[in-house]
Structure 1
Amino acid sequence: MIYHSIRMKATAGVTQEQIEEALESMRNQGRVIPAVKSFVVGRDYGGDFDWGGVFVIEDLDGYWEYLTHPAHAHTDRIGMPLVEKYDSYDITDDDDPQMGAKIADLHRRRYESDPELAALVGMLP
């Protein structure tokens, strides 16, 4: 299993409506992307972040489906401009010593195939 985690802190001046729209878009990802086995989106406690989400995905094929799904792209496009601080990481119980490199390769392929997304990610602090 892959546990994809996102943590974010909103930029000053972002409205509660904007935050709620982005959070609802994240929740929608969990509901509509078939590869997502379970998810949680909500307040982040214990660090310098305001909100976060965890998406549980079975394998690399499912992770690619998650990364390239239109619902995920929508969240990126409305959410990334709202964040001052952002962190994304993956935890897995897979014993493959190359798993980290394989996950990184999926992200690289995604950014190469979507220059607009790559530009948004490049603007994150």
Structure 2
Amino acid sequence: MPVYHVVLFKLKPGVTQEQLAKWQKTSRAMVGKIPGLISLHANPPLPISVPRAKGFDMGLVAVLESPDHVASYATHPAHLEVHKMREELCEDTLAYDLEFDAAEGVKL
């Protein structure tokens, strides 16, 4: 069954929009390179969510084909490149993986 890989990021002070744009572009480019990675979206929280975001400035949702693909995604060279960028830009992260039944009508 497909998996939502959800990650929240607290950015370090001074991170620029250019750095974020490069990170987002590099992250999205993993789709098509990493087997089982169906889609990936990353953005800051909506203004209505900021008061509840506990300092997390950016979120990512990746959809993978199965739980097995989460493990291979984590060690793939394209992801390791994005992971290195994340370490440079972020002071904290929170990750959460959710498996879901695609027959329930979840479409991305």
Check whether TM > 0.5: yes
What is the match of residue 58 of structure 2? 51
Q: Distance in 1 between matches of 2:82 and 2:72?
A: 15
Point out 4+ residue stretches in structure 1 off by more than 2 angstroms: none
Aligned to 1:84, which of 69, 91, 98? 91
Q: Distance in 2 between matches of 1:79 and 1:22?
A: 8
Work out whether 1:63 is the aligned partner of 2:64.
Answer: no
Q: Distance in 1 between matches of 2:17 and 2:5?
A: 25
Contact 2:40 2:61 in 1 (8 A): yes
- The number of residue pairs the alignment matches comes to 94
TM-score with structure 2 setting the length? 0.75
Identical positions, percent: 33
Which residue type is aligned with residue 11 of structure 1?
A: K
Q: CA deviation at 1:64?
A: 2.1
* Structure 1 residues 1-125: aligned runs within 5 Å: 1-45=2-46, 46=49, 47=53, 48-93=55-100
User: Which of the pair is proportionally richer in helix?
Assistant: 1
